[in-house]
Amino acid sequence: MSTSAADATAAPDRPAALIGWRLLSLFYDFWPVLALWMLIGAVMVAAFTAAGHDTHENIRPLTAWWFLEWALCWLAAGGYATLSWRRGGQTLGMRPWRLRVGGADGGVPGWKALWLRYAVGTLSLALGGLGFWWAWFDRDRLTWHDRASGTRTVRLRKQRR
């Protein structure tokens, strides 16, 4: 049997799980998101003080103010991610690692799919990254948020100069 015939009958390689690259990307993206959170925190403190609270009083956990602040932080991070994915398929953290998000069909995913991806990704992180680690066992190397949203994360080839 010739080598080309053996190659043709061999099972196709499984795609890479990209777990390390995804985690590096998340770490890199943490910094611009942290800046957004700090801005939201400053606005919330100003609003809290303007609402008549003492300037030395903190927003207490599990109060309406606290839930509002965390909801705004979650929405701001989601806005950063989904807008980046929609405009070019990449967040700032995905660029150096050559990762890109696209639809399963290769097209640009819709807003609903991207927000679903973000929400399921948030749940995955809240569960200790379980949805990310799942990619090592998935037959197509997809994470929970890839599967749920019908999107894919791929690693782009290095561009030659």
Q: How many domains does the chain have?
A: 1
- Any idea which of 5-19, 59-73, 76-90, 147-161 has the lowest mean pLDDT? 5-19
Domain of residue 148, residue span: 19-155
Instruction: Report if residue 12 sits inside a domain.
Output: no
**Residue 4 counted as domain residue:** no
Mean per-residue pLDDT of the chain = 88
Q: How confident is the model at residue 15 (pLDDT cuts 50, 70, 90)?
A: low
Q: Given this model, what pLDDT does residue 150 score?
A: 92
Instruction: Please tell me the pTM assigned to this model.
Output: 0.83
Q: Is residue 33 part of a domain?
A: yes
Whether 98 is covered by a domain: the verdict is yes
Asked if residues 136 and 17 have their Cβ atoms less than 8 Å apart, the reply is yes
Please write the tens of the pLDDT for every residue from 31-53.
Answer: 999 999 999 999 999 999 999 88
Q: Is residue 6 part of a domain?
A: no
Domain assignment present for 5: no
